[in-house]
Amino acid sequence: MIRKTQRRIVSKDGHNNVRIDNVEGMVKLYLHDIWTTVVDMKWRYKLTLFASTFVMTWFIFGVIYYFIGMGNGDFEADLNSTHTPCLMNVQTLTGAFLFSLESQTTIGYGYRFISEECPLAIFTLVAQLVITGLAEIFVTGAFLAKLARPKKRAETIKFSQLAVICQRQGKLCLMVRVANMRKSLLIQCQLTGKLLHSHVTQEGEKTQVHQTSVDFHMDSSGECPFLILPLIFYHVLDEQSPLAGLTAENLHTQEFELLVTLNATMESTAATCQSRTSYVPKEILWGYEFKPVLFSTTGGRYVADFNFFDKVQMSNDAAFLRNNADKLKLEEDYKRE
C-beta separation of 142 from 36 below 8 A? no
On the question of pLDDT at 90 being above 50, the answer is: yes
Q: Which of 256, 257, 232 is nearest to 173 (CA)?
A: 232
Confidence band, pLDDT 50/70/90 cuts, at residue 22: confident
- In 3-state terms, what secondary structure has residue 330? helix
Q: How far apart are CA 224 and CA 191, in angstroms?
A: 9
Question: Alpha helices of the chain — where are they, by DSSP H?
Answer: 26-32, 34-39, 43-71, 93-105, 119-147, 150-154, 318-323, 325-330, 332-336
- Counting Cα atoms < 13 Å in the Cβ hemisphere of 118 gives 24
Q: How far apart are CA 228 and CA 217, in angstroms?
A: 17
In Å, how far are 282, 303, 311, 330 from 335, measured between CA atoms?
Answer: 14, 25, 10, 10
Q: Which of 311, 48, 83 is nearest to 177 (CA)?
A: 311
Q: For position 258, what pLDDT does the model report? A: 92
Work out the average pLDDT over 119-123. Answer: 89
CATH architecture of 33-148: Orthogonal Bundle (1.10)
Q: How far apart are CA 327 and CA 314, in angstroms?
A: 11
C-beta separation of 115 from 99 below 8 A? no
Q: How many C-beta atoms lie closer than 10 Å to residue 110's C-beta?
A: 8
On the question of pLDDT at 79 being above 90, the answer is: no
Parse the chain into domains and list their residue ranges. Answer: 33-148, 151-336
pLDDT digits over 317-334, tens only? 655 554 555 454 545 555
* Least trusted range by pLDDT, from 85-99, 105-119, 234-248: 105-119
Confidence band, pLDDT 50/70/90 cuts, at residue 2: very low
Q: For position 320, what pLDDT does the model report? A: 58
pLDDT digits over 290-319, tens only? 998 888 887 778 888 888 898 988 887 655
Confidence band, pLDDT 50/70/90 cuts, at residue 223: low
Class of domain 151-336: mainly beta
Say how far residue 29 (Cα) sits from the centre of its chain. Answer: 21
pLDDT digits over 249-304, tens only? 888 888 889 999 998 888 777 778 888 999 998 899 988 989 988 888 877 788 88
pLDDT digits over 129-165, tens only? 899 889 888 888 888 888 777 677 777 888 999 999 9
DSSP label at residue 291: P
Contacts of 315 (CB under 8 A, 6+ apart): 166, 167, 287, 288, 289, 321
Q: How far apart are CA 255 and CA 266, in angstroms?
A: 35
On the question of pLDDT at 176 being above 90, the answer is: yes
Q: Does an H or E element contain 210, and which?
A: strand 206-215
On the question of pLDDT at 188 being above 70, the answer is: yes
Q: For position 153, what pLDDT does the model report? A: 74
- Mean pLDDT across the chain, nearest whole number? 82
On the question of pLDDT at 1 being above 50, the answer is: no
Q: For position 249, what pLDDT does the model report? A: 84
On the question of pLDDT at 239 being above 60, the answer is: yes
Q: Which of 313, 311, 305, 304 is nearest to 332 (CA)?
A: 313
Work out the average pLDDT over 118-133. Answer: 89
